[in-house]
Amino acid sequence: VIGIEELAAKLGSLTEVQVRVNAPMTEYTRFGLGGPAELLVDAKSQDSFIDAHQTIVENGLPVTVIGGGTNLVVADQGVTGAVLRFCGNAIRLEDNTIHAEAGAILQDVVDASIQASLAGLHTMTRIPGWLGAAVYGNAGAYGNSIHQFVRSVSYARNGEVESFSQAECEFAYRESIFKRKKDCVILAAQLELPSGDQLQLQSQATKIQQIRDAKYPPDMKCAGSIFKNFLFEKLPYEVQRKIPDSKVTGGKVPSAYFLEVAGAKGMRAGQIVVADYHANLLYNLGTGTTEQLKDLIRQLKHRVYDRFGLHLEEEVQYLS
């Protein structure tokens, strides 16, 4: 096993690869929490990304692939091993199909779809982050999630490029096979969308953008919703009957509802607070720690469990 500095030099000698040793993860994540990663590696092309991934694995260092860092909570003690990003961001259109590399900013893919008069992704306006992670976590908003449009996803595994069809991705609410198969790293996705009216799509997108910018000011240090919502049909009958009809949309009940009833709004642990207008939105006032965030998450889980007997499950991904 070689040392970090030596591995950094080896990775740095690969074409289209940039390496940073002891990289502060506050700079690479929207929550702005946590300590440094031993290595932060950026690869620009698919080949260099696969090379870098293989080099790290072969040298026995743990590796996590991330994107824009908008759904991540990094441990205060930092990240052991390498954090790797695929920065390839090509977006190509062919009839009703969009081919996008994992490093494409999701908003750019959304914009390209609207430009091409393709419908569906427009409701994901202002979901931050990159395309790869949107597939990984089956991101969605306002009635649509990305799995509806995925035709196939190419990924790398042990240095080989393979692909999954939509069915093979085993998508579910905020879930995909990639959450269980960490050795498969997403390279690109092919999305197929129905045609739509460009003006209508654009005007819906603008409305969504306005709502979202008010809810999540662009400089807010957060990860969007902390907890997943609940599928109504999966809730115990005792809980179902307590939920007002108005709180069920698209078969889901927002965790914010349970959190609000449990008195979460405005709660605080150190520099981490629950928004006073949205009980499932936790944010960092500036110098918060992951320990404070975890403390608040624990308290919220207890409250909802005590009141409803429900287990909240994090939507955010932990990185340590």
Ligand X SMILES: Cc1cc2nc3c(=O)[nH]c(=O)nc-3n(C[C@H](O)[C@H](O)[C@H](O)COP(=O)(O)OP(=O)(O)OC[C@H]3O[C@@H](n4cnc5c(N)ncnc54)[C@H](O)[C@@H]3O)c2cc1C
Catalytic residues: 174, 225, 315
164 binds ligand X (CB under 6 A): no
Q: Name residue 189's beta-bridge partners.
A: 100, 153
Interatomic CA distance for residues 93 and 112, integer angstroms? 8
32 binds ligand X (CB under 6 A): no
In contact, 135 and 170? CB cutoff 8 Å: no
72 binds ligand X (CB under 6 A): yes
Closest CB 311 distance from ligand X, rounded Å = 20
Query: Which residue, 74 or 310, has its beta carbon nearer to ligand X?
Result: 74
163 binds ligand X (CB under 6 A): no
133 binds ligand X (CB under 6 A): yes
CB atoms within 10 A of CB 12: 14
Under 8 Å CB-to-CB from 251, ≥6 apart: which residues? 231, 232, 233
36-43 and 79-86 strand pairing? parallel
Among 32, 120, 129, 254, interactor with ligand X by CB under 6 A? 129
Closest CB 236 distance from ligand X, rounded Å = 25
67 binds ligand X (CB under 6 A): yes
Contact map string, positions 222 to 261, toward ligand X, x by CB under 6 A: xxx-------------------------------------
Interatomic CA distance for residues 282 and 293, integer angstroms? 8
75 binds ligand X (CB under 6 A): no
Among 32, 34, 88, 128, interactor with ligand X by CB under 6 A? 128
In contact, 65 and 185? CB cutoff 8 Å: yes
In contact, 70 and 224? CB cutoff 8 Å: yes
Q: How far is CA 189 from CA 30, 133, 250, 272, in A?
A: 24, 11, 26, 35
- The torsion angles phi and psi of 157, rounded to 5 degrees, stand at -145, 125
Closest CB 270 distance from ligand X, rounded Å = 20
Residue 99's nearest CA partner among 194, 164, 189, 193 is: 189
Three-state DSSP class for residue 265: coil
50 binds ligand X (CB under 6 A): no
For 227, the enclosing helix (H) or strand (E) is none
Closest CB 179 distance from ligand X, rounded Å = 7
Query: Which residue, 56 or 127, has its beta carbon nearer to ligand X?
Result: 127
Query: Which residue, 134 or 308, has its beta carbon nearer to ligand X?
Result: 134
88 binds ligand X (CB under 6 A): no
Query: Which residue, 222 or 274, has its beta carbon nearer to ligand X?
Result: 222
Among 50, 63, 75, 134, interactor with ligand X by CB under 6 A? 134
For 136, the enclosing helix (H) or strand (E) is helix 131-136
Closest CB 90 distance from ligand X, rounded Å = 14
Three-state DSSP class for residue 19: strand
Closest CB 119 distance from ligand X, rounded Å = 18
Among 171, 178, 257, 308, interactor with ligand X by CB under 6 A? 178
Interatomic CA distance for residues 41 and 121, integer angstroms? 30
Residues of this chain that interact with ligand X (CB under 6 A) are 30, 64-72, 86, 102, 127-130, 132-134, 136-137, 139-141, 178, 185-186, 216, 222-224, 317
